[in-house]
């Protein structure tokens, strides 16, 4: 028997390895429990509702509005939108004040849908700009597809309303 394989040397080696091994097992157990109870996060879970599109009051553009809810514990981003066939352009836009009482529309880029929260579009904020506007009568419906960075596309309908009848 060599000194390195003596019973005393083996016990010393096992004792010195026990603490790191026990710490690793405890850490793995705690992380597993954290994940199983849902605390490690869930992917975004999106629903799109309350779709409305304004009947056109001009020949340049109109706007559609949606409420996007996220019940997941991870945020997502609205990255774009496509309208039904025949619409030349639908884009996520933002109403920007350029002077007192004067506003213009600009492209919004990616917009965050917060975890356990919602993104509510409105005429004085974020919306879907549709250009040129289709001919719509109140009650008509159009289908849009909203594109998200992590969740993929979500299809939703927007009901046509007159500008003064929009209730958000």
* Digit-coded pLDDT (tens) for 144-159: 999 999 999 999 999 9
Q: Which residues contact 125 (CB under 8 A, 6 or more apart)?
A: 94, 95
Which of 16-25, 42-51, 81-90, 125-134 shows the lowest mean pLDDT across its residues?
16-25
Q: How many helices (H) and strands (E) does the chain have?
A: 1, 10
Average pLDDT over residues 93-121: 89
pLDDT, residue 34, reads: 62
148 burial type by CB count under 10 A (0-12 exposed, 13-18 middle, 19+ buried): buried
Band (pLDDT 50/70/90 cuts) for residue 3 is: low
Mean pLDDT of the chain: 86
Band (pLDDT 50/70/90 cuts) for residue 88 is: confident
Answer with the residue of higher pLDDT: 51 or 41.
51
**Is-contact 76 151, C-beta < 8 A?**
yes
Q: Residue 143: pLDDT above 90?
A: yes
Percent of the chain whose predicted confidence (pLDDT) is above 70: 85
Residue for token pair 């600009």: 106
**Peptide bond just before 23 cis, omega within 30 deg:** no
70 burial type by CB count under 10 A (0-12 exposed, 13-18 middle, 19+ buried): buried
Band (pLDDT 50/70/90 cuts) for residue 39 is: low
pLDDT, residue 2, reads: 59
The token duo for 155 is 């299809």
pLDDT, residue 105, reads: 80
pTM: 0.74
Average pLDDT over residues 30-44: 69
Average pLDDT over residues 14-33: 70
**Is-contact 97 89, C-beta < 8 A?**
no
- Closest listed residue to residue 53, CA positions, set 158, 164, 166: 158
Q: Which residues of the chain form beta strands (DSSP E)?
A: 46-54, 62-70, 76-82, 89-99, 102-107, 111-113, 117-120, 126-131, 141-148, 154-161
């Amino acid at each position: 028997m060599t000194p390195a394989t003596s019973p005393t040397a083996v016990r010393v080696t096992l004792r010195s390895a026990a603490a790191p091994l026990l710490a690793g097992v405890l850490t793995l157990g705690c992380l597993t429990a954290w994940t199983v109870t849902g605390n490690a996060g869930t992917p975004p879970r999106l629903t799109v509702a309350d779709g409305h599109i304004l009947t056109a009051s001009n020949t340049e553009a109109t706007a559609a509005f949606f409420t996007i809810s996220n019940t997941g514990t991870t945020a997502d981003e609205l990255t774009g939108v496509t309208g039904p066939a025949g619409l030349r352009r639908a884009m996520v836009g933002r109403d920007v004040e350029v002077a007192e009482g004067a506003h213009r529309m600009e492209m919004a880029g990616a917009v965050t849908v917060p975890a356990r929260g919602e993104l509510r579009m409105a005429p004085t904020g974020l919306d879907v700009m549709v250009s040129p506007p289709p001919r719509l009568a109140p009650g008509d419906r159009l289908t849009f597809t909203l594109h998200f960075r992590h969740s993929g596309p979500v299809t939703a309908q927007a009901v046509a309303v007159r500008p003064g009848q929009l209730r958000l």
